[in-house]
Amino acid sequence: MGKSGVPNNDEFYMKIALRLAKKGLGFVNPNPPVGAVIVKDGNIIGRGYHTRFGALHAEREALLDAKKKGVDVSGATMYVTLEPCDHYGKTSPCTNAIIESGIKRVVIAARDPNPVSGDGIKKLLKNGIEVKVGVLEDEAKEVAKFFFKYVTTGLPYVTLKYASTLDGKIADKIGSSKWITQELRKEVHKLRSIHKAVLVGAETVLKDNPILNVRLPKMKFKNPDVVVLDENGRVLKKVIADIDKFELFNPNYDRRVIIFSSNQCQNIEFPEYVKVKTPENLSVENILKELAKEGIDSLLIEGGASVFSQFLPYADEVYGFYATKVFGKGKSIFEHLEIPVEESEIPFEIQNLKISKNMKELMVVMRRCSQGLFSTYVKDTSMVRG
């Protein structure tokens, strides 16, 4: 036991660092969320996390916290959820700050997969600092899963979310799809708050006029960027006619709106926060690559049926929200997929279940359990149909 009665345990302190790291979710993208804790004589003397993109890294925040308290960190141990960087970016290397501080031991959860970050572990060791790697590594990678996918593949982490009736309908026969679930809608807003962007098709924009912002009372959050798939230019034509009618384009939400379209829309001026992209190839994979170039490390797919069908092969996670309602006739979730019965089992495993307090709604979280794309599920992936 330390002086405060806290067990001197690497996993114990790393769990605290991981809790701190989660505070940065949704604010630091496409950087990783990172937390750091400094411990001396069994007491936590400094805490920090990466608060937003471009701000101080977690290690420097923790050192600054200790300095503000007037505590000497020399000889202390730092717990950090990701390998400290050793390069000059928006901030100078965290390795330099650690070495200069006099910290003698650094415990790291996961190595940084980004080659740009340099070899922080090697530099710390070279300067006589004891380093331990791999404490709660899986948990750290889970917190930073968007970053790990983005850096290692050059593509965003893709989460597909739908709300469905018990008979698998996401809209009724006239196309109305609002408010299938109500009690669990907070979970949807949590998803939006941590993803860099949310994507919908033209049909959803024109029929539902969605806001796609985050509504979480008493919580800090950042609205995600919005991506619209508008192959035939239907949304662009409507927006040009009357942009104020569309909630997506409200400048008060402080976000970008990126529209993918085959229409060139030359000589048309849009607000600076609206970007129209007209690549020659509107395949799903090409769209994901284009979004990665825009710094979008995580993408939440919110509809509708055509979009769900096209992005399912590229999804890393699927959130299914079910309500005790029945439409009978209407749009099915993946009605545009043509799958042979014998091949219909998708490569996902159920990770979590949550039932609403009124026992009328269910959230099912599924995670991909195999690598690669199951592109054979979609006959024509050459063009996105928004």
104-144 pLDDT, tens digit each: 999 999 999 988 777 999 999 999 999 999 999 999 999 99
Residue 336 known to bind ligand:
no
Contact in structure between 301 and 333 (CB atoms under 8 Å): no
Is 361 labelled as part of a ligand binding site? no
What stretch of H or E contains 98?
helix 94-101
What pTM was computed for the model? Answer: 0.90
Catalytic residues, by residue number, are: 59
Residue 343's pLDDT is what? 76
User: When comparing pLDDT for 382 and 184, which is higher?
Assistant: 184
Alpha-carbon distance of 55 to 90, in angstroms, equals 8
* 263-308 confidence digits (pLDDT tens): 766 667 788 899 999 888 889 999 999 999 999 999 999 988 899 9
154-368 — its CATH code? 3.40.430.10
* Residue 208 known to bind ligand: yes
Q: Which residue has the tokens 């496409």?
A: 30
Per-residue pLDDT at 92: 80
Which residue type is seen at 335?
E
CB distance 350 to 198 below 8 Å: no
Token pair, residue 29, equals 């993208």
**16 phi and psi, to 5 degrees?**
-65, -40
List the structure tokens of 172: 């009724």
Q: How far is CA 100 from the centre of its chain?
A: 34
| Region 150-177 average pLDDT | 90
Q: Tell me which architecture the domain covering 9-149 has in CATH.
A: 3-Layer(aba) Sandwich (3.40)
Do the Cβ atoms of 97 and 56 come closer than 8 Å?
no
Q: 212 labelled as ligand-binding?
A: yes
* Residue boundaries of the structural domains of the chain: 9-149, 154-368
Q: Could you tell me if 29 and 154 are in contact, meaning their C-beta atoms sit under 8 angstroms apart?
A: no
- pLDDT tens-place string over residues 249-259: 999 999 999 99
What distance in Å separates the CA atoms of residue 103 and residue 138, rounded to the nearest whole number?
25
Beta bridge partners of 367: 317, 349
Convert 259-281 to b/e letters by CB count within 10 Å (16 or more is b).
Answer: bbbebeeeeeebeeebebeeeee
